Amino acid sequence: PTQEQFLARIRYNRGRRKVQPIVPTEQEVTNILTRLYDPALSGPRFFYYQDAQGMPIDRVSTRVGSGKFFPALIESNTFEKSDWSEVPKPGSFIGQVWPPKRLDDVIGSPASTEQCVCQDGSRTCDCDPAVLSANLRELWIHNMTLRWVDQRGFGLFARMSRDCILGEYTGKIGPRRDDTPDDETEYHVGIAIGNVASDEVTAWIDATCTGSVTRHINHSCNPKCGLFEGRCGMQCRVIYVWSISDIAQGEELTIEYGTDWFKDVDVCLC
């Protein structure tokens, strides 16, 4: 089934309980969310914001410029080689193929000296991106809720301790284009495709239309989390969200967007 077909069945079954509304247990909510975001479902998976009990209500929508759409969930980065066909090779690029033909050509050559998401300090760890994605999906479903936040749209809430990974920031990896209008780069995060010591930012992850649940993390001048660049094993470079302080039950996950994000905005809404 698709997400909508699955939810229609859940709503039908709950609607038949007309005598007295039944508050779902935490385990029931977890089971529903696990099925809702199951990669085996047909069609695209969308994000659903949740009620006070954690039950999914409706699809999350996003506005960029004058357009409104429903962003879809992807748990690993995507790539289109046509985006790179006329892009000059960056001086700091350390890969072997230019222009790149596949995703591995741009983020598949991390250095062993880069910090792995496992944080064990080993240069030879065997962390696997597919395993990381599955573990982060489970972490999200068990510990986080996606809710409406007045004035700021949708936000992500959780109960987490300090110094732990909260999710990977995923999207479509493309070349950085300085002529892109600011209102079209709200969900863009830079990623290195060469020597990480270089200040040259030549690529970004675009989570506007597709991305992970971390695309919904709002800004705060006193953030609870940060975005960090590292690697997953020796297979690929990643951008991930890391908690930098304890996050209480029901507290919103936040990151610092940076001054450039607010250059055309009069006031911060945090």
Residue 8 reports pLDDT greater than 90: yes
> What domains are defined for the chain?
1-73 (no CATH), 74-262 (2.170.270.10)
CB atoms within 10 A of CB 96: 9
Taking the model in full, what pTM does it have?
Answer: 0.91
Question: Which of the four pLDDT bands, split at 50, 70 and 90, describes residue 126?
Answer: confident
Quick check: 45 pLDDT over 80? yes
Amino acid residing at 8: A
Tokens 């609607």 label which residue? 15
Dist. CA 97–CA 89, nearest whole Å = 10
- Position 47 confidence tier, pLDDT thresholds 50, 70, 90: very high
Which residues lie below 8 Å from residue 77, measured CB to CB, with a gap of 6+?
103, 107, 170, 171, 172, 173, 205, 236
Residues in contact with 120: Cβ distance below 8 Å, sequence separation at least 6, in sequence order: none
User: How does residue 209 score in pLDDT terms, banded at 50, 70 and 90?
Assistant: very high
List all residues 6 or more positions away from 101 whose beta carbon is below 8 Å from its beta carbon.
81
pLDDT(236) > 70 = yes
* CB of 224 closer than 8 Å to CB of 244: yes
> What tens digit of pLDDT does each residue of 137-164 get?
999 999 999 999 987 789 999 977 778 8
**Does residue 173 register a pLDDT over 80?**
yes
